[in-house]
Structure 1
Amino acid sequence: MILEKLNDLIRKFEGLRLKPYLCPAGVPTIGYGHTGPEVSIKMKPITEPVAEAMMVQDAATFATASANLSPVLYFDSDKHSAIADFCFNLGTTRYKASTLRRKVNAGDWEGAQEELQKWVWGGGKKLPGLIARRKAEALLLK
Protein backbone atom coordinates (compact mmCIF):
# COMPACT_ATOMS: atom_id res chain seq x y z
CA MET A 1 0.00 0.00 0.00
CA ILE A 2 1.65 3.23 -1.15
CA LEU A 3 0.32 6.57 0.05
CA GLU A 4 2.42 9.29 -1.59
CA LYS A 5 1.31 11.98 0.89
CA LEU A 6 2.41 9.73 3.74
CA ASN A 7 5.83 9.35 2.13
CA ASP A 8 6.00 13.13 1.69
CA LEU A 9 5.15 13.75 5.36
CA ILE A 10 7.79 11.28 6.51
CA ARG A 11 10.45 12.79 4.26
CA LYS A 12 9.61 16.32 5.38
CA PHE A 13 9.38 15.77 9.12
CA GLU A 14 11.93 13.02 9.64
CA GLY A 15 14.59 14.35 7.30
CA LEU A 16 17.30 12.15 5.83
CA ARG A 17 20.30 11.08 7.85
CA LEU A 18 22.56 8.49 6.30
CA LYS A 19 24.59 7.95 9.47
CA PRO A 20 22.99 6.41 12.57
CA TYR A 21 21.95 8.77 15.37
CA LEU A 22 19.94 8.78 18.57
CA CYS A 23 16.48 10.31 18.18
CA PRO A 24 15.15 12.60 20.96
CA ALA A 25 13.77 9.51 22.71
CA GLY A 26 17.26 7.95 22.71
CA VAL A 27 16.46 5.28 20.10
CA PRO A 28 19.09 4.43 17.45
CA THR A 29 17.74 5.72 14.13
CA ILE A 30 18.89 5.99 10.52
CA GLY A 31 17.55 7.16 7.16
CA TYR A 32 14.08 8.72 7.34
CA GLY A 33 13.41 7.93 10.98
CA HIS A 34 13.94 4.18 10.60
CA THR A 35 14.32 2.24 13.84
CA GLY A 36 14.46 -1.44 14.64
CA PRO A 37 16.64 -4.15 16.10
CA GLU A 38 19.02 -3.96 13.13
CA VAL A 39 19.79 -0.28 13.77
CA SER A 40 22.68 0.58 16.06
CA ILE A 41 24.83 3.64 16.59
CA LYS A 42 27.85 1.62 15.44
CA MET A 43 26.41 0.53 12.10
CA LYS A 44 27.89 1.81 8.86
CA PRO A 45 26.20 4.66 7.00
CA ILE A 46 23.61 3.77 4.38
CA THR A 47 22.99 5.18 0.90
CA GLU A 48 20.06 7.36 -0.10
CA PRO A 49 18.42 4.55 -2.15
CA VAL A 50 18.65 2.23 0.87
CA ALA A 51 17.11 4.93 3.08
CA GLU A 52 14.32 5.43 0.55
CA ALA A 53 13.59 1.70 0.41
CA MET A 54 13.48 1.50 4.21
CA MET A 55 11.13 4.47 4.34
CA VAL A 56 8.75 3.01 1.75
CA GLN A 57 8.65 -0.28 3.68
CA ASP A 58 8.11 1.50 7.01
CA ALA A 59 5.38 3.68 5.49
CA ALA A 60 3.59 0.60 4.13
CA THR A 61 3.80 -1.09 7.53
CA PHE A 62 2.24 1.89 9.31
CA ALA A 63 -0.35 2.43 6.57
CA THR A 64 -1.52 -1.15 7.02
CA ALA A 65 -1.44 -1.01 10.82
CA SER A 66 -3.35 2.28 11.01
CA ALA A 67 -6.03 1.04 8.62
CA ASN A 68 -6.38 -2.19 10.57
CA LEU A 69 -7.04 -0.11 13.70
CA SER A 70 -9.32 2.32 11.84
CA PRO A 71 -10.85 0.68 8.74
CA VAL A 72 -12.59 3.96 7.84
CA LEU A 73 -9.15 5.14 6.64
CA TYR A 74 -9.31 2.81 3.63
CA PHE A 75 -11.80 5.19 2.02
CA ASP A 76 -9.72 8.40 1.99
CA SER A 77 -6.02 8.44 1.15
CA ASP A 78 -5.44 11.91 2.67
CA LYS A 79 -6.93 10.93 6.02
CA HIS A 80 -5.15 7.60 5.84
CA SER A 81 -1.82 9.35 5.19
CA ALA A 82 -2.34 11.68 8.16
CA ILE A 83 -3.10 8.93 10.65
CA ALA A 84 -0.41 6.60 9.29
CA ASP A 85 2.11 9.44 9.73
CA PHE A 86 0.96 9.91 13.32
CA CYS A 87 1.48 6.17 13.89
CA PHE A 88 4.89 6.29 12.19
CA ASN A 89 5.91 9.11 14.52
CA LEU A 90 4.42 7.90 17.81
CA GLY A 91 3.64 4.22 17.28
CA THR A 92 0.49 2.21 16.87
CA THR A 93 0.30 1.36 20.58
CA ARG A 94 -0.32 5.00 21.46
CA TYR A 95 -2.78 5.40 18.60
CA LYS A 96 -4.67 2.23 19.56
CA ALA A 97 -5.42 3.52 23.07
CA SER A 98 -6.06 7.15 22.08
CA THR A 99 -9.08 9.40 21.96
CA LEU A 100 -7.77 10.32 18.50
CA ARG A 101 -8.53 6.78 17.31
CA ARG A 102 -12.01 6.91 18.81
CA LYS A 103 -12.68 10.18 16.96
CA VAL A 104 -11.34 8.76 13.67
CA ASN A 105 -13.40 5.58 14.00
CA ALA A 106 -16.50 7.66 14.69
CA GLY A 107 -15.85 9.79 11.60
CA ASP A 108 -15.48 12.86 13.83
CA TRP A 109 -12.82 14.55 11.71
CA GLU A 110 -13.07 17.91 13.44
CA GLY A 111 -12.61 16.18 16.79
CA ALA A 112 -9.68 14.21 15.36
CA GLN A 113 -8.04 17.44 14.21
CA GLU A 114 -8.38 18.81 17.74
CA GLU A 115 -6.96 15.62 19.26
CA LEU A 116 -3.90 15.75 17.02
CA GLN A 117 -2.97 19.11 18.55
CA LYS A 118 -2.53 17.45 21.95
CA TRP A 119 0.36 15.29 20.68
CA VAL A 120 3.00 18.03 20.44
CA TRP A 121 4.89 17.52 23.70
CA GLY A 122 8.35 16.09 24.25
CA GLY A 123 10.48 16.35 27.35
CA GLY A 124 7.79 18.39 29.09
CA LYS A 125 7.61 21.13 26.47
CA LYS A 126 5.87 21.84 23.20
CA LEU A 127 8.19 21.03 20.32
CA PRO A 128 7.99 23.22 17.19
CA GLY A 129 8.62 20.24 14.92
CA LEU A 130 5.74 18.29 16.43
CA ILE A 131 3.45 21.32 16.27
CA ALA A 132 4.21 21.64 12.54
CA ARG A 133 3.79 17.90 11.94
CA ARG A 134 0.42 17.73 13.71
CA LYS A 135 -0.76 20.80 11.78
CA ALA A 136 0.20 19.14 8.47
CA GLU A 137 -1.60 15.94 9.49
CA ALA A 138 -4.68 17.87 10.63
CA LEU A 139 -4.92 19.61 7.24
CA LEU A 140 -5.26 16.19 5.61
CA LEU A 141 -8.23 15.35 7.84
CA LYS A 142 -10.44 18.07 6.35
Structure 2
Amino acid sequence: MTPSAACIQLVQRFEGCAKKQADGRFVAYPDPGTGGDPWTVGWGTTGADVKPGVIWSQQQCDARLAKDLASFATQVAAAIGTALTNQHQFDALVSFAYNVGIGNLKGSTLLKQHKAGDYADARTQFARWNKAAGRVLPGLTKRRAAEAALYGS
Protein backbone atom coordinates (compact mmCIF):
# COMPACT_ATOMS: atom_id res chain seq x y z
CA MET A 1 0.00 0.00 0.00
CA THR A 2 0.99 3.58 -0.51
CA PRO A 3 -0.35 6.66 1.28
CA SER A 4 -3.45 8.09 -0.38
CA ALA A 5 -4.33 11.74 -0.83
CA ALA A 6 -6.26 11.52 2.47
CA CYS A 7 -3.05 10.60 4.30
CA ILE A 8 -1.03 13.37 2.67
CA GLN A 9 -3.74 15.93 3.42
CA LEU A 10 -4.00 14.80 7.04
CA VAL A 11 -0.26 15.09 7.59
CA GLN A 12 -0.14 18.47 5.87
CA ARG A 13 -3.11 19.74 7.87
CA PHE A 14 -1.53 18.97 11.21
CA GLU A 15 2.13 19.47 10.43
CA GLY A 16 1.65 22.64 8.43
CA CYS A 17 4.49 24.06 6.46
CA ALA A 18 5.44 26.40 9.28
CA LYS A 19 7.81 29.30 9.79
CA LYS A 20 7.52 30.78 6.32
CA GLN A 21 9.82 33.74 5.83
CA ALA A 22 9.12 36.85 3.76
CA ASP A 23 11.09 35.38 0.86
CA GLY A 24 8.83 32.28 0.78
CA ARG A 25 11.37 29.90 2.27
CA PHE A 26 10.91 27.98 5.51
CA VAL A 27 13.21 28.07 8.53
CA ALA A 28 13.74 25.22 11.00
CA TYR A 29 12.10 25.57 14.40
CA PRO A 30 12.27 23.74 17.75
CA ASP A 31 9.77 21.06 18.71
CA PRO A 32 6.71 22.75 20.26
CA GLY A 33 6.48 20.09 22.97
CA THR A 34 10.09 20.28 24.14
CA GLY A 35 11.22 23.70 22.97
CA GLY A 36 14.29 22.02 21.46
CA ASP A 37 15.01 18.68 19.83
CA PRO A 38 13.88 17.45 17.47
CA TRP A 39 14.19 20.49 15.25
CA THR A 40 11.63 20.58 12.45
CA VAL A 41 11.33 22.16 9.01
CA GLY A 42 8.69 22.09 6.30
CA TRP A 43 5.92 19.52 6.69
CA GLY A 44 7.14 18.24 10.06
CA THR A 45 10.48 16.97 8.78
CA THR A 46 13.01 16.00 11.44
CA GLY A 47 16.35 14.27 11.22
CA ALA A 48 20.09 14.76 11.50
CA ASP A 49 20.02 17.26 8.64
CA VAL A 50 17.44 19.49 10.37
CA LYS A 51 18.94 21.83 12.93
CA PRO A 52 18.87 25.51 13.85
CA GLY A 53 19.58 27.72 10.85
CA VAL A 54 18.31 25.27 8.20
CA ILE A 55 16.23 26.99 5.51
CA TRP A 56 14.31 25.14 2.75
CA SER A 57 12.31 26.18 -0.28
CA GLN A 58 8.70 25.04 -0.74
CA GLN A 59 9.96 22.54 -3.32
CA GLN A 60 12.41 21.05 -0.82
CA CYS A 61 9.66 20.79 1.81
CA ASP A 62 7.27 19.05 -0.60
CA ALA A 63 9.91 16.67 -1.95
CA ARG A 64 11.03 15.64 1.54
CA LEU A 65 7.45 15.02 2.62
CA ALA A 66 6.90 12.69 -0.34
CA LYS A 67 10.16 10.85 0.38
CA ASP A 68 9.46 10.56 4.12
CA LEU A 69 5.88 9.38 3.64
CA ALA A 70 7.08 6.69 1.23
CA SER A 71 9.62 5.55 3.82
CA PHE A 72 7.06 5.53 6.63
CA ALA A 73 4.60 3.64 4.42
CA THR A 74 7.18 0.90 3.85
CA GLN A 75 7.91 0.67 7.56
CA VAL A 76 4.23 0.68 8.55
CA ALA A 77 3.48 -2.05 5.99
CA ALA A 78 6.28 -4.15 7.49
CA ALA A 79 4.97 -3.55 11.02
CA ILE A 80 1.43 -4.52 10.00
CA GLY A 81 2.62 -7.68 8.28
CA THR A 82 -0.25 -9.79 6.97
CA ALA A 83 -2.96 -8.18 9.13
CA LEU A 84 -6.02 -7.18 7.13
CA THR A 85 -5.80 -3.43 6.62
CA ASN A 86 -7.93 -1.13 4.50
CA GLN A 87 -6.62 2.06 2.89
CA HIS A 88 -8.05 4.38 5.55
CA GLN A 89 -6.54 2.32 8.36
CA PHE A 90 -3.19 2.31 6.60
CA ASP A 91 -3.31 6.06 6.01
CA ALA A 92 -4.12 6.74 9.67
CA LEU A 93 -1.29 4.48 10.83
CA VAL A 94 1.19 6.18 8.46
CA SER A 95 0.14 9.64 9.73
CA PHE A 96 0.48 8.40 13.32
CA ALA A 97 3.93 6.90 12.71
CA TYR A 98 5.06 10.04 10.87
CA ASN A 99 4.25 12.04 13.98
CA VAL A 100 5.31 9.73 16.83
CA GLY A 101 7.94 7.59 15.08
CA ILE A 102 7.86 4.05 13.79
CA GLY A 103 9.34 2.66 17.01
CA ASN A 104 6.43 4.02 19.01
CA LEU A 105 3.95 2.52 16.57
CA LYS A 106 5.68 -0.87 16.71
CA GLY A 107 5.52 -0.96 20.51
CA SER A 108 1.97 0.37 20.77
CA THR A 109 -1.22 -1.28 21.91
CA LEU A 110 -2.74 0.44 18.88
CA LEU A 111 -0.72 -1.77 16.52
CA LYS A 112 -1.26 -4.88 18.66
CA GLN A 113 -5.02 -4.39 18.57
CA HIS A 114 -5.00 -3.66 14.84
CA LYS A 115 -3.04 -6.83 14.12
CA ALA A 116 -5.44 -8.80 16.33
CA GLY A 117 -8.36 -7.51 14.27
CA ASP A 118 -9.83 -5.52 17.17
CA TYR A 119 -10.32 -2.40 15.09
CA ALA A 120 -12.72 -0.76 17.54
CA ASP A 121 -10.17 -0.87 20.36
CA ALA A 122 -7.34 0.07 18.01
CA ARG A 123 -9.30 3.17 17.08
CA THR A 124 -9.62 4.19 20.74
CA GLN A 125 -5.85 3.85 21.21
CA PHE A 126 -5.07 6.91 19.09
CA ALA A 127 -6.38 9.20 21.86
CA ARG A 128 -3.73 7.94 24.29
CA TRP A 129 -1.00 9.59 22.21
CA ASN A 130 -1.79 13.27 22.84
CA LYS A 131 1.15 14.25 25.02
CA ALA A 132 4.60 15.71 24.42
CA ALA A 133 7.10 16.03 27.24
CA GLY A 134 4.36 14.73 29.57
CA ARG A 135 1.89 17.50 28.72
CA VAL A 136 -1.38 17.16 26.84
CA LEU A 137 -1.21 19.27 23.70
CA PRO A 138 -4.51 20.38 22.15
CA GLY A 139 -3.04 20.05 18.65
CA LEU A 140 -2.11 16.42 19.31
CA THR A 141 -5.55 15.72 20.74
CA LYS A 142 -7.11 17.06 17.53
CA ARG A 143 -4.69 15.16 15.34
CA ARG A 144 -5.32 11.86 17.13
CA ALA A 145 -9.07 12.39 16.80
CA ALA A 146 -8.67 13.00 13.06
CA GLU A 147 -6.47 9.91 12.69
CA ALA A 148 -8.98 7.80 14.63
CA ALA A 149 -11.81 9.12 12.45
CA LEU A 150 -9.90 8.27 9.28
CA TYR A 151 -8.98 4.84 10.68
CA GLY A 152 -12.63 4.10 11.38
CA SER A 153 -14.05 5.41 8.11
TM-score w.r.t. structure 2 length? 0.85
Question: What is the identity, as a one-letter code, of the residue corresponding to 2:28?
Answer: P
Change (3 A) 1:59 1:74: farther
CA contact (8 A) 1:6 1:59 kept: no
CA contact (8 A) 2:76 2:93 kept: yes
Superposed CA RMSD: 1.6
Higher strand share: 1
Equivalent residue runs for 1:13-24 within 5 Å: 13-17=14-18, 18-24=26-32
Higher helix share: 1
Name the structure 1 match of 2:51. Answer: 40
List 4+ stretches of structure 1 deviating above 4 A: 72-75
Name the structure 1 match of 2:7. Answer: 6
Aligned length: 141
Which 5+ residue runs of structure 2 have no aligned equivalent? 19-25
Change (3 A) 1:52 1:108: same
Matched, 1:129 2:139: yes
CA contact (8 A) 2:45 2:64 kept: yes
Matched, 1:51 2:61: yes
CA contact (8 A) 1:67 1:73 kept: no
Identity %, equivalent residues: 31
CA deviation after TM superposition for structure 1 residue 72, in Å? 5.0
Change (3 A) 1:39 1:125: closer
CA contact (8 A) 2:43 2:65 kept: yes
